[in-house]
Amino acid sequence: MTDGARAATPPVALPREAETHCPYCALQCGMVLRAEGDRVEVLPRQFPTNRGGLCQKGWTAAELLDHPERLTTPLLRDASGELRPATWDAALDRVAAGIRAVQSGHGRDAVAVFGGGGLTNEKAYALGKFARVALRTRHIDYNGRWCMSSAAAAGIRAFGVDRGLPFPLADLARADTLLLVGANPAETMPPLLRHLTDQRQRGGRLIVVDPRVTATARQADLHLQPLPGTDLAVANALLHIALTEGLVDKAYVDARTTGFEQVRRTVAGYWPAEVERLSGVPVADLEATARALAGGSAIILTARGAEQHAKGVDTVSAFVNLALALGLPGRPGSGYGCLTGQGNGQGGREHGQKSDQLPGYRKIDDPAARAHVAGVWGVDPDDLPGPGVPAYRLLDSLGTPGGPRAMLVFGSNPVVSAPRAARVTERLRGLDLLVVADFLLSETAALADVVLPVAQWAEEEGTMTNLEGRVLRRQALRRPPPGVRTDLDILAGLAARLDDGEPGTGPAGTPTTTTGTGAAAAQPAGRAARQFPTDPRVVFAELRRASAGGPADYAGITWERIERDEGVFWPCPDPDGPDAPRLFADRFPTPDGRARFHPVTHRPAAEEVCAEYPLHFTTGRVLAQYQSGTQTRRVAALRRAAPGGFVELHPDLADRLGVDEGDELVVTSRRGELRAPARLSPTIRPDTVFAPFHWGGAARANSVTNDATDPVSGMPEFKICAVRVEKA
């Protein structure tokens, strides 16, 4: 794949206006992009999820397309340690040579791949395939492991399937009661509030469970403010009350579930008065919540506040148990769901980025799944590697004896987003080869040996799957700048070089050919070209075949159908058949068609407070920033709205510490420290401090967070650890 071949590709005509979706969260708000001279304008679009609304991040998303810090040429680290501009051939040749050297010396698993929940379905699929076919490594995972993995694991073991919302967002307005657990959509997904407003206008009730009085909690009819890490006990107490007051839907439990008797015995010990002592939630509020949920249609939604714990799977299971006992899943206007965070957090895990999964949400250790996917890929099932390890374990093993010695990172910034981030940073520094594909020089890219500039969302075609399981179309308005390639182009170029031929050629030295669409896409001839096409339409067609028959079946979904129907809900096995906006109406996708209860018990946080570290520390988001901040911290309007990190603490705690508003604080845990100004707020518990996680440097919240992980999902305990706070 040579630079010369790319230059010969004729330009592809693109429209001056394109219907697409916001590049940020999993709400995937519809928007229209319009080319106005050299500018790109964002216009509202009536779409079912956002109904014309956008948050500040969405309105300003196009400002990054021509940002002065945008990467437009590959960068190679030279002998002096500096990153210098290079040609694409030089960059890809260096990556391929580095991979060969590491694998020849240490085995195939010595190279790892780390993906992102913002990649399109096509790129997520190709990345998983590249790891297992071109690299033949078991070591691939992605940052979505830190987003939805606990809810995913709980959903699979209860319902037999993981789809964030098994119903459309519009169903929220039909619920008499909404229970939001660890969710703050007023700041993380503002357009979602339109559905909550509809619910309130119908006379519905909103109940929020959160240790902080967030912007969402301030709108609630009832706010339960538990000690961080005690949500599981609260859920069990709610089910205890439902049992003692006769609120359980016995007919539903008998007809549609299994395992209830063991759960009933477990929650019998969760007396509300005891849970009040443990969590701080008054008995009266627990009773009011249980009665409201049983008093009509109800929906229970969990999010990161409940899930990002070393017991996250059990915590979600406790709320699923509550939903099943009340007969909610599958009933109109009722159910359980999870508010997925990242833009393609749902699709990104369905098609192969997770260490234990193959496309279609198949298990990689299932012989039938391996045979099916291997047949689509044209490889021997025995050549596919086995399961890898979850994201944090993978990062923490880098450079250690027996661990990977090289890593390719696509669409992620673990230097800021990983727990115990200082140690992860050192692991990355110690690699023989670190390659980062991004469109801005993130904190992780700044450590790389090779940086590869990639296209942005308005410059490429593809599909995304939002929090409802609705597959959406992303349309390109413009081509990438000269010198920028798509992730699919990069994977194809590397696959060609890692094949039997010489760099820049296909197998056995055959010349490359130029095909495809987009940024002057070039595609090598021969096996690599067939296995790693660069046209997203071709990749999606292959994804459909690979997912066919799996839990997340996309076989019946086409780009044309997506555009015609405002998205298509999976599973959709038949192009001429219906899709599935609502699941569980008649049965659950389990062998016997019944949902499964799972008894779970509260246990303390992995790290409890003590004399040396007497305060609880928790993390979260702010309205104007997103994830690790690589994008949003570079948008002027968002930077003005949220210029930097801070430490939020209660005025009573500030008095005890002698702290005033704006004083620089040092928050220290057993793993590290962060420094940021104090922000006093009476809305947080006096025994808890909070910091947003969008900033690197001294204000990096994840320098402090605990790297203890859930034994089932691999989710780190981001939401609680023990700290001390001092004035700097």
Domain holding 671: CATH number? Answer: 2.40.40.20
pLDDT for 5 beyond 60: no
Among 339, 369, 384, which residue terminates a domain?
A: 339
Nearest to 462 by CA among 548, 528, 557, 535: 535
H-helix or E-strand containing 376?
Answer: helix 367-377
Nearest to 302 by CA among 417, 501, 518, 158: 158
Tokens for 111, please give them. Answer: 């190279």
Among 569, 597, 628, which residue terminates a domain?
A: 569
Same domain, 488 and 387: yes
Average pLDDT score over residue span 4-25: 68
Confidence band for 526, pLDDT divided at 50, 70 and 90:
low
Same domain, 201 and 350: no
Rounded alpha-carbon distances, angstroms, from residue 273 to 66, 210, 483: 58, 19, 64
Average pLDDT score over residue span 204-217: 96
Same domain, 182 and 331: yes
pLDDT of residue 320: 98
Tell me how far apart the alpha carbons of residues 529 and 481 are, in angstroms, rounded to a whole number.
24
- In eight-state DSSP terms, residue 571 is P
Say if 590 falls within a structural domain: no
Average pLDDT score over residue span 205-216: 96
Among 339, 360, 390, which residue terminates a domain?
A: 339
Whether residue 339 contacts residue 305, with contact meaning beta carbons closer than 8 Å, is answered with no
* Structural domains of the chain, count: 3
Confidence band for 527, pLDDT divided at 50, 70 and 90:
low
Say if 522 falls within a structural domain: yes
Average pLDDT score over residue span 114-121: 96
Average pLDDT of the residues of the chain: 93
Nearest to 578 by CA among 586, 566, 569, 587: 569
Same domain, 332 and 368: no
Same domain, 160 and 297: yes
Same domain, 310 and 434: no
Average pLDDT score over residue span 328-338: 96
pLDDT of residue 509: 31
pLDDT for 10 beyond 90: no
Sign of CA dihedral 12, 14, 20, 21: positive
| pTM score | 0.93
Tens of pLDDT, residue by residue over 444-497, are 999 999 999 999 999 999 999 999 999 999 999 999 999 999 999 999 999 999
pLDDT of residue 713: 96
CATH of the domain at 407: 3.40.50.740
Same domain, 142 and 153: no
Say if 403 falls within a structural domain: yes
**Helix residue spans in 593-674 (DSSP H):** 636-641, 651-657
Q: Is 679 helix (H, G, I), strand (E, B) or coil?
A: strand
Q: Spell out the residues 6+ positions from residue 678 whose beta carbon is closer than 8 angstroms to its own.
A: 646, 647, 649, 654, 659, 660, 661, 662, 663, 664, 665
- In eight-state DSSP terms, residue 716 is B
Nearest to 391 by CA among 50, 113, 1: 113
Owner of token pair 């357009």:
191
Tens of pLDDT, residue by residue over 569-587, are 999 999 999 999 999 999 9
Say if 53 falls within a structural domain: no
Same domain, 135 and 173: no
- Identify the weakest region by mean pLDDT among 395-399, 507-511, 651-655: 507-511
pLDDT for 514 beyond 70: no
Omega within 30 of 0 (cis) for the link into 571:
yes
3-state percent helix, strand, coil for the chain, nearest multiple of 5: 35, 20, 45
Tens of pLDDT, residue by residue over 588-599, are 999 999 999 999
The angle formed by the CA atoms of residues 446, 451 and 457, to the nearest 5 degrees, is 105
Confidence band for 36, pLDDT divided at 50, 70 and 90:
confident
Q: Is 360 helix (H, G, I), strand (E, B) or coil?
A: coil
Q: Is 558 helix (H, G, I), strand (E, B) or coil?
A: coil
Sign of CA dihedral 702, 706, 711, 712: negative
Whether residue 265 contacts residue 303, with contact meaning beta carbons closer than 8 Å, is answered with no
Same domain, 372 and 300: no
Q: Per-residue DSSP letters for 177-235?
A: EEEEES--HHHH-GGGHHHHHHHHHTT-EEEEE-SB--TTGGG-SEEE-PPTT-HHHHH
Tens of pLDDT, residue by residue over 649-684, are 999 999 999 999 999 999 999 999 999 999 999 999
Whether residue 90 contacts residue 74, with contact meaning beta carbons closer than 8 Å, is answered with yes
pLDDT of residue 14: 66
pLDDT of residue 695: 97
Say if 355 falls within a structural domain: yes
Sign of CA dihedral 187, 191, 196, 197: positive
Whether residue 495 contacts residue 512, with contact meaning beta carbons closer than 8 Å, is answered with no
What whole-number percentage of the chain has pLDDT above 70?
Answer: 94
CATH of the domain at 225: 3.40.228.10
Tell me how far apart the alpha carbons of residues 104 and 110 are, in angstroms, rounded to a whole number.
9
**Helix residue spans in 388-420 (DSSP H):** 391-397, 414-417
Tokens for 245, please give them. Answer: 């007051």
Say if 504 falls within a structural domain: yes
Q: Is 22 helix (H, G, I), strand (E, B) or coil?
A: coil
Say if 154 falls within a structural domain: yes
Tens of pLDDT, residue by residue over 276-308, are 999 999 999 999 999 999 999 999 999 999 999
Say if 625 falls within a structural domain: yes
Indicate the pairing of strand 615-620 with strand 688-692.
parallel
Q: Spell out the residues 6+ positions from residue 189 whose beta carbon is closer than 8 angstroms to its own.
A: 25, 26, 27, 55, 339
Same domain, 465 and 510: yes
pLDDT for 510 beyond 70: no
Q: Is 154 helix (H, G, I), strand (E, B) or coil?
A: helix
The residue length of the chain stands at 728
Average pLDDT score over residue span 52-76: 96
pLDDT for 506 beyond 60: no
Same domain, 395 and 469: yes
Q: Quote the domain boundaries for residue 414.
A: 75-146+344-569
Same domain, 559 and 640: no
